[in-house]
Amino acid sequence: MDISVSFLKCELASTIDQAVRCAVETVLKETARVVGIKLAAARNAAAESHRENQTLRERLEISESELKAVRYYMTAAEKNIKQCLLLNRNQPGSNIVRSNADDALFVIPPTAQAQSRDSSRKSFRNSPGRVHGPKNLPSVGLCLPTVHVNRRKARGDLTTSQTLVENSSALFKPEDEPEGPFYITNE
């Protein structure tokens, strides 16, 4: 009986060993499959988060460009208003009345004598063929920059697409533009 028990132990040991190996392989394959699914979901979430962050970053850049343009417009308008007020104040025979140094300016229409004196002045906007009626206030022209935004579509893969905004020249200001883009004429 010793030989049969010993033979049975060897036979069972190899079968048990083979069963344990199969069980371990099955557990490892299932674990790898679950980890792969979780990793793919995490990668997809990270890619979506990256796309969302990129979109927000582009929107922020556009908003900053628009804010910069608005600030430029406000500064230019403020300079233009100050220049007009300064020219009106320094103009001979000016009809500006100040009740207080801090109060707003009030313009009184010019007299007939002041109108005849103003109509004798010529400006580059007055041409012999044009007929102009008398005006009380100077004409002011203001040149402002244009905001340029280029948009193009790019595809990341076949299922998703996103819009990229390249703000290459948010504020375009020509080099030959004079420091003050204002002109004032009395017509």
Question: How many CA atoms does the CB half-sphere of 52 hold within 13 Å?
Answer: 6
pLDDT at 122: 45
Put simply, whether the predicted model's pTM sits higher than 0.85 gets the answer no
pLDDT of residue 138: 52
Tokens representing residue 56 in the block? 């927000």
Taking the chain (187 residues) in consecutive chunks of 10 residues, what is each chunk's mean pLDDT?
Answer: 71 88 97 97 97 97 97 95 88 54 49 49 47 51 50 43 39 46 51
Q: What is the model's pLDDT at position 11? A: 80
Centre a 10 Å sphere on the Cβ of residue 183 and count the other Cβ atoms it contains. 16
Q: How far is CA 21 from the centre of its chain?
A: 62
pLDDT score at 169: 40
Q: Which domain holds residue 134?
A: 2-185
pLDDT of amino acid 95? 53
Number of domains in the chain: 1
Alpha carbon distance 166, 148 (integer Å) = 10
